[in-house]
Amino acid sequence: MHDATTPHAATTPFWDKVISAFWLAFLGILGVNMVSNMVIYGEPFVPKEIHIEKFGFPIEVVAEETTGGGDAGPAKMISSLPLIAAASLDEGAAVFKKCGACHTIEAGGANKTGPNLNAIVGAEIGDHNGFKTTDSLKAIGGAWDYAKLDDYLENPKRLAPKGSMSFAGLKKAGDRAAVIKFLASNTPGAPAFPSAEAPAAAAEPAAAPAAEPKK
Ligand code: HEC
């Protein structure tokens, strides 16, 4: 017969068997490896990842809450209003250097990143001296009285969350008092400064009703 094909036919099944045996051994080792890896390492790995995520989120939330609590300082914000009358104009001019990157102060001064701030005290909020401000800023409404300036300059994003004044704010009441006095000194006919006692006196009746019912 075609014996010539027999060795071939015989060789093929033989080598097939050898190759299959190798494959089976290889796959078997792989499989055992995978299974044992899963058993040995898989168990500790999976819970670890879950733990990381579980820990990650609460920590972030806690951190946000902590910062939020610190930022929620609007209630705790120390008013600069009683300090304005006694504040130093020189100090105000020095503090204004921080604003000077974006604002000019002299009458007719150029608008830069922010509007020229001449005559800002008592001015309508937004679009000052021809500068187009954001809707978020305009939404504050009303005029720049001392209280609104104090609030805005402490943290511009509080009154105008989507406003474009990229300035962290003046956290020290003394700095705000000084710069507000400087703004007023560059405002012809600026309103009188709040008296050093008036805000405290005004705050007391508001605090008293809240405190008295508790007693
Ligand atoms: C990084 C630039 C930058 C700095 C620094 C900066 N401002 Fe501004 N300021 C702006 C921009 C921009 C606007 C317009 C905001 C908007 O449209 O939301 C603005 C708006 C204002 C307004 C409102 C103007 C209006 O039209 O009603 C006042 C008041 C003001 N700034 C005061 C200050 C003072 C005071 C300082 C310094 C303590 C200061 N800014 C620092 C960029 C700046």
Confidence of residue 167 (pLDDT cuts 50, 70, 90): very high
Q: Kindly state the tokens that stand for 12.
A: 């093929």
| The predicted structure's pLDDT at residue 202 | 45
User: Which ligand 1 atom is the nearest neighbour of the CA of 100?
Assistant: 5
User: Which ligand 1 atom is the nearest neighbour of the CA of 101?
Assistant: 5
**What is the mean predicted confidence (pLDDT) over 163-179?**
98
The answer to whether residue 180 scores a pLDDT higher than 90 is: yes
Q: What is the mean pLDDT of the chain?
A: 79
At 74-115, the pLDDT tens digits run 456 899 999 999 999 999 999 999 999 999 999 999 999 999
Q: Kindly state the tokens that stand for 174.
A: 């003394």
Q: Please indicate whether residue 56 or residue 107 has the higher confidence score (pLDDT).
A: 107
Q: Please indicate whether residue 8 or residue 199 has the higher confidence score (pLDDT).
A: 8
Cα-to-centroid distance, 203 and ligand 1 (Å): 28
The answer to whether residue 168 scores a pLDDT higher than 60 is: yes
The answer to whether residue 129 scores a pLDDT higher than 90 is: yes
The answer to whether residue 48 scores a pLDDT higher than 90 is: no
Contacts of 71 (CB under 8 A, 6+ apart): 155
Q: What's the half-sphere exposure (Cβ side, CA atoms, 13 Å) at 13?
A: 5
Cα-to-centroid distance, 200 and ligand 1 (Å): 28
Indicate whether residue 104 lines ligand 1 (CB < 6 A).
no
Contacts of 166 (CB under 8 A, 6+ apart): none
Q: Kindly state the tokens that stand for 192.
A: 């009188």
Does residue 155 contact residue 169 with C-beta atoms inside 8 Å?
Answer: yes
Confidence of residue 35 (pLDDT cuts 50, 70, 90): low
Cα-to-centroid distance, 178 and ligand 1 (Å): 16
Q: Please indicate whether residue 35 or residue 61 has the higher confidence score (pLDDT).
A: 35
**Which residue's CA lies nearest to atom 34 of ligand 1?**
99
The answer to whether residue 179 scores a pLDDT higher than 70 is: yes
What does the radius of gyration of the chain's CA atoms come to, in whole angstroms? 36
**∠ CA 151-139-100, rounded to 5°:** 50
Site to probe by mutation for ligand 1, drawn from 102, 146, 172, 175 as the one with most ligand atoms within 8 Å of Cβ, is 102
User: Which ligand 1 atom is the nearest neighbour of the CA of 136?
Assistant: 18
| The predicted structure's pLDDT at residue 9 | 54
Indicate whether residue 164 lines ligand 1 (CB < 6 A).
yes
| The predicted structure's pLDDT at residue 40 | 61
Does residue 156 contact residue 87 with C-beta atoms inside 8 Å?
Answer: no
Quote the distance between the C-alpha of residue 102 and its chain's center. Answer: 21
**What is the mean predicted confidence (pLDDT) over 58-76?**
43
